[in-house]
Structure 1
Amino acid sequence: MWRVSGAIGLLVPAAVLSAIGVVLLGRVGVAVAVLIVPLSVAFVLWYPRARYDRWRWRLTDLAVELDRGVVVRQAEALPYFRIQQIDVNQGPVDRLLGLASLQVTSASASGSVTLPGIAADQAPGVRRVLLARAAAAVGGRVDGVQDAV
């Protein structure tokens, strides 16, 4: 998913800018294009894999814990009692690959976290588990946690 999104977000603009550079700058534009396009391809092949290798999340007894970052490592814990809303999201690339993301909104300064790359058929179940843990953390009923719809 990250590789496809990266390719769309980086390679298409790099190719367009390289083509414009070739037309407007001639030989200098060709030299720039010869550098930009292969570097963009290398970045799209390397970075999503590095990001995937360094992305982890888990549900503990007290919180959702995230550990991520390629250049800057970030460890974050979102306590269940701070969870306010959980949305299941699927963009076009996600749907194509049969994946979904959970957007977990919290009552903290950081706002929300995203749990990407969940199999689309498993995302509602993970959402229900998070809702149950959030309800239990604030003293609500765990059995029969239901959506409004």
Structure 2
Amino acid sequence: MPLDDRERRLDPRIVQVWRVGNGIGALFVLGPPAVFAPLLFGRWGYVITVLAAALALAWIVAWPRAQYRRWRWQLTDLALELRHGVVVRRHQAVPYFRIQQIDVAQGPVDRLLGLATLQVTTASASGSAALPGIPADDAPGIRVELLARAAEAVGEHEGELRDAV
């Protein structure tokens, strides 16, 4: 995968990863009210159960697709830029010279679908940034490219960084 400076999308398989995560979360958060509401509130409890099921269905089916449509990432001359968010839009710019460490993480569903997340740790108050939905085969190459850009950027800012310490 050539890493030019164009804006990129996540791998579409990330939608399935998010759906599984949302499904597990919905089961624990909305499951108990859906089961106990009819016992506690009678007829109104069934209404609560139907509403909880509808909310869970939207959370599992629609929300991950909306997240996917809003996710973009890009390697610019100066930074890794991440744009995401359905309700609250975020634009993170991670300057290469602030990158300290990049980990490749894979949960069980990620491994099953051949995906990985790049966890970028920075030397800033905001901490780190995550780049999910990267094909597992491409993740090591992207990691190496980011580390190379980070090393080059640190070399360009070496005097400034030494003064800041």
Interval containing the TM-score (normalised by the shorter chain): 0.7 to 0.9
Q: Which contiguous aligned blocks of 4+ residues in structure 1 show a shift greater than 4 angstroms?
A: none
1:46 to 39, 42, 62: 62
Distance 1:26 1:91 in 2: 40
How many Å apart are 1:12 and its aligned residue?
A: 4.6
> Is this contact kept in 2: 1:21–1:33, CA < 8 A?
yes
Q: TM-score, normalised by structure 1?
A: 0.87
Q: TM-score, normalised by structure 2?
A: 0.79
The structural deviation recorded for 1:7 is: 1.3
For the residues of structure 2 that align with 1:86 and 1:112, how far apart are their CA atoms?
Answer: 9
Counterpart secondary structure, 2:82: strand
Which amino acid in structure 2 is aligned with residue 58 of structure 1? Q
| Runs of at least 5 residues in structure 2 that lack an aligned partner in the other structure | 1-16, 157-165
| 1:64 lines up with 2:80 in the alignment | yes
Aligned length: 140
User: Cα RMSD over matched residues?
Assistant: 1.5
Percent pairwise identity = 61
Counterpart for residue 159 of structure 2: none
Choose between structure 1 and 2: higher helix proportion. 2
Does residue 141 of structure 2 align to residue 125 of structure 1?
Answer: yes
Equivalent position of 2:46 in the other structure? 30
> Displacement, 1:27?
2.0
Find the aligned partners of 1:68 and 1:86 in 2 and give their Cα distance.
20
Counterpart residue type for residue 52 of structure 1: Y
Higher relative contact order (CA 8 A, sep 6+): 2
- Residue of structure 1 in register with 2:31 after alignment: 15
Q: Partners of 2:45 and 2:131 in 1: how far apart?
A: 41
CA distance in structure 1 between the aligned counterparts of 2:99 and 2:41, rounded to whole angstroms: 53
> What stretches of structure 1 of length at least 5 have no aligned partner?
141-149
Which piece of structure 1 moves more, 129-138 or 22-31?
A: 22-31
Answer yes or no: is 1:135 the counterpart of 2:151.
yes
**SS state at 1:139 partner:** helix
